Amino acid sequence: MSTFIQAVVAGIAAGAVYGLLGAGFSLAYKTTGIINFAHGDIAMLGAYVTFSVFGWGAPLFVAALAGVVAGGLAGAVMERGVLRPLYKRPLVAGILATVGVSVVLQSVIQLVWGSLPLTLPSLASSTPWRIGSVAFSPAQAVLLAVTIIVSTALIFAVDRTRVGRGMRACAQDSGVVVLFGISPERLYLTAFAIAGMLAGLAGALITPTIGLTPSRGVSLSVLGFAAAVLGGLGSVTGAIVGGIAIAVLRNLASVYVSAGYADAVAYLAIVLVLLVRVRGLLGDDLETVRSV
C-alpha cells in the first residue's frame, strides 16, 4: 500500500510539470491548429539557459526566469520566422516545419553546450519530509506550487482577458475574429510566445530530476502531447489534470508492470482517448465538431 501511495505522490509532482508542457502545447494547438514537435526542445533550451545563467552566479530563481524568457523568445521566433509563411498552406507543412525547428534546436544545443549530460540543482532541497512511510520533498512541493500558481494565472488569462477571449474565438473561426478587430496573426504570436514560456518553465523545473541531454526534447514533447490529449485539447485545466494522470499511471506501471513499459501508458492513453472520447477528460465540445 505504501508503495502505491508513494508512486501516486511522486507522480503528482512530476505530472504537474508534464501538465505545464501540455498546457503550452494545447494553447498553441488550439489557436493555430499546429502540432508543435519542437515543444519539448524549447523546454530543453529553457533548461540549458537556466543552467548557464545559474553557472554565471545568478540565484537559481533568476536563472529559471531567464530560462522562461528564452523559451518564450524561441517560441516567438519560431512563429514569426518559420510558421508565419505557412498558415495559408496545408497544416502538414507547418507541422513538418516544427520538426525542422526541433532538429535545429537540438543541434544548436549540442553545439553550444555539448552532448554530455549535465545536471541542474533543484529549486528547493530534495531531502524528503516523511509522513508515515510516504516521502515528499520540498523540491516536489515547489514544483506543485509553481504549477498551481502559473496555471491559475493562465486559466484567468484565457478566460477573462481580451487576448484570451480572442484566442478562444480564433480557435472557433479565425476568419470571423477579423471582423471584431482582432488580428489572428498577433494572437498566433502571443500563443506561441506563451507556449514557449510555459515550455521553458517546465524545462527548468523538470531537469533537476531527469538531467540535461540535448536529445531529451522529443520524449518531453510526447509527454506533453499525451497530457494535452488526455485532458482534452485546448483546456488548460485539462492539460494539468491529464499530465498528473499520465505521471501517476506511469509510476504505477513501472512499479507493478515493468519499468521498461512505463512510457507505453502515455501512448496507450493517447490512442484510447482519441478513439473513445476525443474531447478528453475536460475538453469542450469545440474539439469534437472542429473540422480539419
The reply on whether position 21 binds other proteins by CB under 8 A is no
Report which secondary-structure segment, H or E, holds 124: none
Residues 187-246 that bind other proteins (CB under 8 A): 218, 222, 225, 229
Of the two residues 182 and 212, which places its CB atom closer to other proteins in the complex? 212
Q: What share of the chain is helix, strand, coil (3-state, %, to 5)?
A: 75, 5, 20
The reply on whether position 33 binds other proteins by CB under 8 A is yes
Beta bridge partner(s), residue 131: 134
- Residue carrying the nine cell digits 519560431: 78
The reply on whether position 133 binds other proteins by CB under 8 A is no
DSSP letter string, 94-113: HHHHHHHHHHHHHHHHHHHH
Of the two residues 96 and 149, which places its CB atom closer to other proteins in the complex? 96
**What backbone torsions phi and psi does residue 288 show, to the nearest 5 degrees?**
-80, -25
What is the dihedral sign for C-alpha 81, 25, 10, 257?
Answer: negative
**Using the rule CB under 8 A, which residue among 60, 108, 169, 281 binds other proteins?**
108
Nearest-angstrom CA–CA distance, 97 and 254: 34
The reply on whether position 110 binds other proteins by CB under 8 A is yes
**Using the rule CB under 8 A, which residue among 60, 65, 77, 104 binds other proteins?**
104
In the complex, what is the shortest distance from the CB of residue 130 to other proteins, in angstroms, rounded to a whole number? Answer: 33
The reply on whether position 257 binds other proteins by CB under 8 A is no
In terms of Cα–Cα distance, which of 79, 70, 33 is closest to 200? 70
The reply on whether position 258 binds other proteins by CB under 8 A is yes
Catalog residues that contact other proteins under the rule CB under 8 A.
33, 35, 82, 85-86, 89-93, 95-97, 99-104, 106-108, 110-111, 115, 218, 222, 225, 229, 258, 260-261, 263-264, 266-268, 270-271, 274-275, 278, 290-292
